[in-house]
Amino acid sequence: MTAPTTDAAPSGNDGAPLGQNPGHALHTPVITWFDEHARDLPWRRPEAGPWGVMVSEFMLQQTPVNRVLPVYEQWMARWPRPADLARESPGEAVRAWGRLGYPRRALRLHGAAVAIAERHGGDVPTDHAQLLALPGIGEYTAAAVASFAYGQRHAVLDTNVRRVLARAVTGVQYPPNATTAAERRLARALLPEDERTAARWAAASMELGALVCTAKNEACHRCPIAAQCAWRLAGKPEHAGPPRRGQTYAGTDRQVRGKLLAVLREAHAPVAQAVLDRVWHDPVQRARALDGLVADGLVEPLPGGLYRLPLT
């Protein structure tokens, strides 16, 4: 099924335009649903502050909430402010990251903490452009922190939001593999005009995608906008775009990298090459994974065939 262009205003289930703001008919039911069903997550509590929001956004990228929760709690107890993390070595950030995966995020979060301490007096900046200028902060994270921490009006497009908009408005099962300009235009067109409502809409639409409008086994009977969902009204046509990318792990370089890092995280002294050689049977793949960790700045080689987590 060909998606309609997003330059035209989306319409309601009767085919009529949704109004001056094309998302108006979506905002109230989704936000009302969120008010009742939102999960009580630590980064949503007032005491989390902007730094807690930023930490959660780094950790939640491609990682489910149940895996993030214990690491987040430990992280915030140890480093309640950016300056606390900035005083530590990057290797300590990698160590504390544990088995969340994609550990370069730990280095990027450490780099952002250093920049916040040096450029912004230790406070997470409120300005979207300043957030975007921090190391490791991309379009999504800057918008998410500005919205969730400071209640600003930004289009926050994660995988969950993109899926909700693809189905409810565009009428397709899944969004494209990578965020497109058309998706960004649509998300901006759907933003409530009021800043507080826009921030609430961002959180609510994300939660709807996480809990109800899921990638598989969507619960349309629990969806507050099922009656006007373009995909459901079209009979839920099967995905007609490029194949969805699956994530494999077993036997990949990612798995080997994880095993190598696990040894280094547990060690508080440099580790000999011979110890690292025991973690994986294929010497070529093992060497490639270790070289990749060194190139990414996650592992520091030392003279004498020793390795450690980075100190600088």
Q: Model confidence over 91-145: pLDDT tens digits?
A: 999 999 999 999 999 999 999 999 999 999 999 999 999 999 999 999 999 999 9
Q: Which of 47, 57, 183, 266 is catalytic?
A: 57
Taking the model in full, what pTM does it have? 0.87
CB 144 within 8 A of CB 52: no
- Predicted local confidence at residue 247, as pLDDT: 67
Assess whether 238 carries a catalytic annotation. Answer: no
Q: What pLDDT is attached to residue 240?
A: 84
Question: Which pLDDT value is given to residue 246?
Answer: 65
Contacts 24+ apart (CB under 8 A), 30-34: 30/201, 30/204, 30/205, 30/208, 30/224, 30/225, 31/197, 31/200, 31/201, 31/204, 32/224, 33/204, 33/208, 33/224, 34/200, 34/203, 34/204, 34/207, 34/208
Closest to 97 in 3D by CA, of 87, 83, 107:
107
So what's the pLDDT on residue 115?
98
Query: What pLDDT, on a 0 to 100 scale, did the predictor assign at position 82?
Result: 98
Using CB atoms within 10 Å of the CB of residue 242, give its burial: 0 to 12 exposed, 13 to 18 middle, 19+ buried: exposed
- CA dist 115 and 83 (Å) reads 9
**What pLDDT does 312 receive?**
82
Predicted confidence at residue 22, as pLDDT, reads 65
Give the residues of the chain that fall short of pLDDT 50: 1-20
